[in-house]
Amino acid sequence: MLGRDIRKGLIKVGKFLITGGTPLEGEIKVSGAKNAALPIITAALLADSPSRLLDIPNLRDVTNLCDIIEKMGAKVERKGHEVIINPADLNKFEADHELARKLRASYYILGVLLARNGTARTSLPGGCNIGNRPIDLHLKGFKALGAEVRLDHGIVEVKANKLKGERIYLDYPSVGATINIMLAATKAEGKTIIENAAREPEIVDLANYLTVMGAKIKGVGTDIIKIEGIKSLKGAEHRIIPDRIEAGTYMMAAALTRGNVFVKNVLAEHVKPLIAKLHEMGVEIDEQISGVNVKNRGRLKAVDIKTLPYPGFPTDLQSQMMVLLTQADGTSLVIETVWENRFMHVDELKRMGADIKIDGHSALIKPSHLTGAEVTATDLRAGAALILAGLIAQGDTEIRESYHIERGYENIEKKLQGIGARIRKVEE
């Protein structure tokens, strides 16, 4: 899929060139959260009137999603980080298959259109290749609400004459399933209760937006969410929360390069598990209202990490953390419990001299001296980890397939240049 887009010139093939060894100093600003923006843009289609969304990051996933909903008849106006969505003329209930395959979050169309029109079709979603990415829990939720679900040759179709609120237990607190069921339930008749729901801040942000639109939702941020369906929702204005994964990546960049960086526009409570680990490692953190200052002048101590659903340590920061651990004194253990294929960065880090041994879902990391190399970004966060490695490595690092990184980090090279990193992007 991506190969074809690259050949057609739809995706520019670029690479990042980094010369390591500079301590990062200054202020870096975090953008709005991609994983909150995507469901919220889709949720705008639930309303009868326009919504104005602020702090929407300029990322390819966002552009693809906006293109999908425009092709379905919605009007989308984008100005910088502001997006105005008018869903009044939505007349197509099927997402463009090629576009839908490009981003995981395209499946939120299913929950929204099921609630709005009782029918939706899309191709099975894409996104990062970090493991088997089933949607059985989403479909289980839709069926419980009374929908018929058909899966045929990679196309998902959902249909319902009427959705009725139900009690739904999720076998795993899936972020996507919690969101999709919440979206569908906003207009279902009666009360829906989602048990073992995910608690990620992006879900809380979506619920806050839905509430301003008129939805009746209680319990978000806990593992039991209650939704009382209502007949209609109105458009609303909403500002997206800061991206905690982007913030965490820059916080680690500061610690790694023995720098002193104010990471602006981050809610400290969203990055608590990372702050706790950085403290254990000996990094100085100063939590302020508008951001977090990260300073590291000394040696780092080894720590162990286990990825878990929120509020545990986020899987989306695991690969970046592994780079930090290569610079710590002692042996660290990383256990990945969320995705089964999330150690793809390890082979690339080994090319740069990292001493990491994988055993199933665990990785043992010993201290190592990293040197520049030619490496490839295999997925979004793996690519971010390679940027961090490049910042500390001796000599020059070339990271191919930069488009993976650009799916989730807005202007990463310009932002890092602003705090002294020697990084540039070359398009081919």
Task: By CB under 6 A, tell whether 185 contacts ligand UD1.
Answer: no
- How long is the chain? 428
Residues 7-36, mask of contacts with ligand UD1 (x by CB under 6 A) = ----------------------------x-
Q: For the CB of residue 69, give the shortest distance to ligand UD1 in the complex, in Å.
A: 16
The single residue listed with the structure tokens 């045929």 is 152
The count of residues interacting with ligand UD1 (CB under 6 A) is 22
**Cβ closest to ligand UD1, residue 15 vs residue 199:** 199
**Cβ closest to ligand UD1, residue 38 vs residue 421:** 38
Task: Tell me the C-alpha distance between 47 and 34, whole Å.
Answer: 21
Instruction: Rule CB under 6 A: choose which of 126, 146, 165, 176 binds ligand UD1.
Output: 176
Instruction: Count Cβ atoms below 10 Å from residue 79 Cβ, excluding itself.
Output: 7
Residues 252-271, mask of contacts with ligand UD1 (x by CB under 6 A) = --------------------
Task: By CB under 6 A, tell whether 319 contacts ligand UD1.
Answer: no
- The DSSP bridge pattern shows strands 332-335 and 362-366 to be antiparallel
**Cβ closest to ligand UD1, residue 213 vs residue 338:** 338
For residue 305, report the phi and psi dihedrals to the nearest 5 degrees.
-130, 140
**Cβ closest to ligand UD1, residue 15 vs residue 104:** 104
Task: By CB under 6 A, tell whether 281 contacts ligand UD1.
Answer: no
Active site residue 128: yes
Residues 90-129 that bind ligand UD1 (CB under 6 A): 104-105
Task: By CB under 6 A, tell whether 402 contacts ligand UD1.
Answer: no
Which amino acids are annotated catalytic?
128
Binding site for ligand UD1 (CB under 6 A): 35, 38, 104-105, 131-138, 172, 174-177, 198, 315-316, 338-339
